[in-house]
Amino acid sequence: MQTQALFCHGEKDLRLGMTALDAPTDNQIDVRVERGGICGSDLHYYAHGGFGVIRIQQPMILGHETAGIIEAVGKNVTKAKVGDRIALNPSLHCGKCSYCEAGLHHHCADMRFYGSAMRNPHIHGAFRDRIIIEQQQAEIIPAHVSPEEAALCEPLAVCLHAVTRAGSLFGKKVLITGCGPIGALTLLAARYAGASHITVLDIAEKARKTALDLGADEALDSRGDLSVYKQNKGFFDVCFEASGNNQAFLTAIELLKPQSTIVQLGLGGEFTFPVNALVAKELAWRGTFRFDSEFALAAKLVSKQVLNLKPLISDVLPLKDYQKAFDLALDKGKSMKVQLAFS
Amino acid sequence: MQTQALFCHGEKDLRLGMTALDAPTDNQIDVRVERGGICGSDLHYYAHGGFGVIRIQQPMILGHETAGIIEAVGKNVTKAKVGDRIALNPSLHCGKCSYCEAGLHHHCADMRFYGSAMRNPHIHGAFRDRIIIEQQQAEIIPAHVSPEEAALCEPLAVCLHAVTRAGSLFGKKVLITGCGPIGALTLLAARYAGASHITVLDIAEKARKTALDLGADEALDSRGDLSVYKQNKGFFDVCFEASGNNQAFLTAIELLKPQSTIVQLGLGGEFTFPVNALVAKELAWRGTFRFDSEFALAAKLVSKQVLNLKPLISDVLPLKDYQKAFDLALDKGKSMKVQLAFS
Amino acid sequence: MQTQALFCHGEKDLRLGMTALDAPTDNQIDVRVERGGICGSDLHYYAHGGFGVIRIQQPMILGHETAGIIEAVGKNVTKAKVGDRIALNPSLHCGKCSYCEAGLHHHCADMRFYGSAMRNPHIHGAFRDRIIIEQQQAEIIPAHVSPEEAALCEPLAVCLHAVTRAGSLFGKKVLITGCGPIGALTLLAARYAGASHITVLDIAEKARKTALDLGADEALDSRGDLSVYKQNKGFFDVCFEASGNNQAFLTAIELLKPQSTIVQLGLGGEFTFPVNALVAKELAWRGTFRFDSEFALAAKLVSKQVLNLKPLISDVLPLKDYQKAFDLALDKGKSMKVQLAFS
Amino acid sequence: MQTQALFCHGEKDLRLGMTALDAPTDNQIDVRVERGGICGSDLHYYAHGGFGVIRIQQPMILGHETAGIIEAVGKNVTKAKVGDRIALNPSLHCGKCSYCEAGLHHHCADMRFYGSAMRNPHIHGAFRDRIIIEQQQAEIIPAHVSPEEAALCEPLAVCLHAVTRAGSLFGKKVLITGCGPIGALTLLAARYAGASHITVLDIAEKARKTALDLGADEALDSRGDLSVYKQNKGFFDVCFEASGNNQAFLTAIELLKPQSTIVQLGLGGEFTFPVNALVAKELAWRGTFRFDSEFALAAKLVSKQVLNLKPLISDVLPLKDYQKAFDLALDKGKSMKVQLAFS
Contacts of C167 (CB under 8 A, 6+ apart): A168, C238, C261
Smallest CA–CA separation between D67 and chain B, in Å? 22
Stretch A112-141: mean pLDDT: 97
Beta pairing, strands B2-10 & D91-92: unpaired
List chain D residues with CB under 8 Å of A104: 103
| pLDDT value for A333 | 87
Residue C165 in contact with partner chain D when CB distance is under 8 A = yes
Confidence of residue A295 (pLDDT cuts 50, 70, 90): very high
Establish how many alpha carbons lie within 13 A of residue B10's alpha carbon, considering only the half-sphere containing its beta carbon.
Answer: 2
| pLDDT value for C329 | 97
In a mutational test of the D interface, the residue from A97, A99, A101, A292 whose CB has the highest number of chain D CBs within 10 Å is A101
| pLDDT value for D343 | 80
- Of the candidates C165, C272, C275, which has its C-beta nearest D244's C-beta? C275
A275 and B244 within 8 Å at the Cβ level: the answer is yes
Instruction: Please state, in angstroms and as integers, the Cα–Cα distance from residue D19 to each residue in D7, D29, D126, following that order.
Output: 10, 17, 11
Pinpoint the alpha helices (H) of chain C: 40-48, 98-101, 147-150, 153-165, 181-192, 205-213, 246-255, 275-280, 294-304, 322-330
| Peptide bond preceding C121 in cis form (omega within 30 of 0) | yes
Q: Which of residues 298-337 of C touch B (CB under 8 A)?
A: none
- Of the candidates A267, A276, A283, which has its C-beta nearest B52's C-beta? A276
SS3 category, A88: strand
Q: Can you tell me the distance from the alpha carbon of B293 to that of D170, in angstroms, rounded to the nearest whole number?
A: 12
Smallest CA–CA separation between C158 and chain A, in Å? 14
Whether the CB-CB separation of D246 and D273 falls below 8 Å is answered with yes
Contacts of A30 (CB under 8 A, 6+ apart): A21, A23, A24, A70, A71, A72, A73, A130, A131, A132
For B242, which residue in chain A has the nearest alpha carbon? A279
State phi, psi for A314 to the nearest 5 degrees: -85, -30
| pLDDT value for D266 | 86
Q: Is B26 exposed, middle or buried (0-12, 13-18, 19+ CB in 10 A)?
A: exposed
List chain B residues with CB under 8 Å of C102: 103
Whether the CB-CB separation of A38 and A30 falls below 8 Å is answered with no
Smallest CA–CA separation between C209 and chain B, in Å? 40
Q: Is A217 exposed, middle or buried (0-12, 13-18, 19+ CB in 10 A)?
A: middle
Stretch A11-27: mean pLDDT: 97
For B99, which residue in chain C has the nearest alpha carbon? C103
Task: Please name every residue paired with A290 in a beta bridge, in sequence order, or none if there are none.
Answer: none
Q: Of the candidates B102, B108, B125, B105, which has an alpha carbon nearest to the alpha carbon of residue B42?
A: B125
| pLDDT value for D196 | 97
- Of the candidates D167, D194, D196, which has its C-beta nearest B194's C-beta? D194
pLDDT in tens, A168-227: 999 999 999 999 999 999 999 999 999 999 999 999 999 999 999 999 999 999 999 999
| pLDDT value for B52 | 78
Whether the CB-CB separation of A151 and A181 falls below 8 Å is answered with no
* pLDDT above 90 for A109: yes
List chain A residues with CB under 8 Å of B268: 275
Chain C: touching chains (3 or more CB pairs < 8 Å): A, B, D
For A232, which residue in chain B has the nearest alpha carbon? B109
Whether the CB-CB separation of D325 and D338 falls below 8 Å is answered with yes
SS3 category, A184: helix
Q: Which of residues 46-105 of D touch A (CB under 8 A)?
A: 101-104
Establish how many alpha carbons lie within 13 A of residue B245's alpha carbon, considering only the half-sphere containing its beta carbon.
Answer: 16
H/E stretch holding B324: helix B322-330
* pLDDT above 80 for A268: no
Q: Can you tell me the distance from the alpha carbon of A153 to that of A156, in angstroms, rounded to the nearest whole number?
A: 5
SS3 category, D290: coil
Smallest CA–CA separation between D208 and chain B, in Å? 22
Angle ∠(C158,C287,D197) on CA atoms, nearest 5: 130
C101 and B103 within 8 Å at the Cβ level: the answer is yes
Stretch B273-293: mean pLDDT: 96
* pLDDT above 80 for B268: no
* pLDDT above 80 for B321: yes
Phi-psi region of B163 (alpha: psi -120 to 50; beta: other; left: phi over 0): alpha
Q: Can you tell me the distance from the alpha carbon of B329 to that of B339, in angstroms, rounded to the nearest whole number?
A: 9
| pLDDT value for D268 | 74
Q: Can you tell me the distance from the alpha carbon of C313 to that of C280, in angstroms, rounded to the nearest whole number?
A: 41
Per-residue pLDDT of chain D (343 residues; tens, 9 = 90+): 999 999 999 999 999 999 999 999 999 999 999 999 999 999 999 999 998 788 999 999 999 999 999 999 999 999 999 999 999 999 999 999 999 999 999 999 999 999 999 999 999 999 999 999 999 999 999 999 999 999 999 999 999 999 999 999 999 999 999 999 999 999 999 999 999 999 999 999 999 999 999 999 999 999 999 999 999 999 999 999 999 999 999 999 999 999 999 999 988 789 999 999 999 999 999 999 999 999 999 999 999 999 999 999 999 999 999 999 999 999 988 999 999 999 8
Q: Can you tell me the distance from the alpha carbon of A281 to that of A269, in angstroms, rounded to the nearest whole number?
A: 24
Whether the CB-CB separation of B168 and B147 falls below 8 Å is answered with no
Q: Can you tell me the distance from the alpha carbon of C276 to that of C257, in angstroms, rounded to the nearest whole number?
A: 15
Stretch C189-201: mean pLDDT: 98
Q: What mean pLDDT, rounded, does chain C reach?
A: 96
Whether the CB-CB separation of C126 and C63 falls below 8 Å is answered with yes
List chain A residues with CB under 8 Å of B283: 286-287
For C172, which residue in chain A has the nearest alpha carbon? A297
Q: Can you tell me the distance from the alpha carbon of D281 to that of D235, in angstroms, rounded to the nearest whole number?
A: 12
| pLDDT value for D264 | 98
Stretch B41-58: mean pLDDT: 92
Stretch B28-41: mean pLDDT: 97
Is this model's pTM higher than 0.90 or not? yes
| pLDDT value for A91 | 97
* pLDDT above 90 for C268: no
Radius of gyration in angstroms for the set of CA atoms belonging to chain C, rounded to a whole number:
20
For C51, which residue in chain D has the nearest alpha carbon? D276
Whether the CB-CB separation of A271 and A249 falls below 8 Å is answered with yes
Stretch C116-139: mean pLDDT: 97
DSSP structure class, residue A156: H
Q: Can you tell me the distance from the alpha carbon of D156 to that of D306, in angstroms, rounded to the nearest whole number?
A: 13
| pLDDT value for D187 | 98
Complex confidence, ipTM: 0.96
Q: Can you tell me the distance from the alpha carbon of D315 to that of C33, in angstroms, rounded to the nearest whole number?
A: 73
Stretch B114-140: mean pLDDT: 97
| pLDDT value for A230 | 97
H/E stretch holding A164: helix A153-165
List chain D residues with CB under 8 Å of C165: 282
- Of the candidates A109, A258, A270, which has its C-beta nearest B104's C-beta? A258
Report residue D316 CA to chain centroid gap. 17
